[in-house]
């Protein structure tokens, strides 16, 4: 558990006491827990395709709950604390002792919300990475047998085909396009800062859909040619929800209702925070993480 000491917070993991002097230091320490343990690869490689799809579906549902809470926390930071108090700890992965981490931060009071937010964000990144690994395993299986479903056409249920389409058509970035390969995904819940050059658009992808940001006397979000939305000073929410500052076409179903936060400062400085399920992508040269 965590204890407060004069030189920082201490978390006990197994028999080891780890001391953190700041939320940033704690966040950095959790970075090593966002990948998938090597021991899991063998189990996943031996799983059936049905089992892989089921696990992906479960991860997506859990991830969506965390995404929704993170989105709400932009207006009400304490919502993360309330979420953790009501979280069934058995639903948290045992990889990297995540249950111990959640139990520890949950015991903290609301004066340490940044520690809770760091754990929340890093666990979301773990879920995203886990899902991506399983998708790659599944996709390689399908490609190895010519793209055919594991079940025969006679036995395949309509919901099986729908489930596969929903999971992969909505979450897979168009990675075969050479230009798309030049984009990097924002770490979920973390903020990057970009200084826009005057009249030089910067492309951003919401899921697999391209948009642009430009500083033209004022900072604007370009939905398509001739369709520009002025961003107001401070935080702007981008997504399909009708209450957002920038509303994206409702037909783009893989764009989240609340997908991206764009915070503007002055005439050319923006800060981007991804709060989506399907991801936000920018050219890799902008991927300099500034903090949670």
pLDDT at position 6: 44
> Which DSSP string corresponds to 49-86?
HHHHHHHHHHHHHHHHHHHHHHHHHTT-TTHHHHHHHH
pLDDT at position 12: 74
Q: Are 196 and 268 in contact (CB under 8 A)?
A: yes
Q: How far apart are the first and last CA of the chain?
A: 23
Query: Which residues are CB-neighbours of 177 under 8 A, at least 6 positions away?
Result: none
pLDDT at position 160: 57
Structural domain spans, the chain: 2-171, 180-291
Cβ burial of 181 (10 Å; 0-12, 13-18, 19+) is exposed
Strands (E), 114-233: 184-185, 191-195, 202-206, 209-215, 219-224, 227-230
pLDDT at position 163: 54
Q: What is the pLDDT of residues 28-43, one digit of tens each?
A: 999 999 999 988 888 8
pLDDT at position 42: 83
Hey, which residues does 19 pair with through a beta bridge?
Answer: 10
* Alpha carbons 91 and 208: distance in angstroms, whole number: 30
| Ranges of the chain with pLDDT below 50 | 1-2, 4, 6-7, 152-154, 158-159, 162, 165-166, 169-171, 173-179
The domain at 180-291 falls in which architecture? Answer: Sandwich (2.60)
pLDDT at position 111: 85
For tokens 């915070």, the residue is 263
């Amino acid at each position: 558990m965590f204890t407060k000491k004069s030189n920082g917070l201490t978390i006990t993991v197994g028999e080891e006491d780890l001391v953190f002097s700041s939320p940033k230091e704690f966040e950095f320490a959790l970075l090593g827990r966002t990948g998938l343990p090597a021991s899991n690869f063998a189990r996943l490689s031996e799983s059936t395709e049905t089992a892989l799809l089921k696990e992906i579906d479960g991860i997506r549902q859990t991830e969506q709950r965390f995404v929704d809470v993170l989105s709400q926390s932009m207006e009400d930071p304490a919502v993360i604390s309330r979420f953790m108090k009501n979280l069934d700890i058995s639903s948290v992965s045992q990889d990297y002792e995540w249950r111990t981490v959640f139990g520890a931060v949950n015991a903290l009071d609301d004066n340490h919300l940044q520690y809770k937010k760091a754990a929340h964000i890093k666990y979301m990144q773990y879920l995203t990475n886990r899902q991506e690994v399983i998708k790659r395993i599944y996709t390689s299986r399908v490609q190895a047998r010519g793209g055919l479903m594991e079940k025969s056409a006679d036995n395949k249920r309509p919901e099986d085909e729908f489930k596969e389409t929903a999971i992969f058509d909505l979450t897979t970035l168009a990675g075969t396009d050479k230009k798309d390969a030049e984009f990097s995904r924002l770490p979920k819940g973390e903020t990057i800062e970009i200084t826009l050059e005057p009249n030089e658009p910067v492309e951003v992808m919401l899921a697999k859909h391209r948009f642009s940001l430009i500083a033209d006397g004022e900072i604007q979000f370009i939905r398509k040619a001739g369709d520009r939305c002025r961003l107001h000073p401070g935080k702007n929410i981008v997504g399909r929800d009708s209450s957002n500052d920038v509303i994206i076409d409702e037909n783009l179903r893989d764009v989240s209702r609340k997908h991206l936060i764009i915070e503007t400062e002055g005439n050319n400085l923006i800060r981007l925070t991804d709060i989506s399920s399907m991801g936000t992508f920018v050219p890799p040269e902008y991927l300099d993480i500034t903090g949670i």
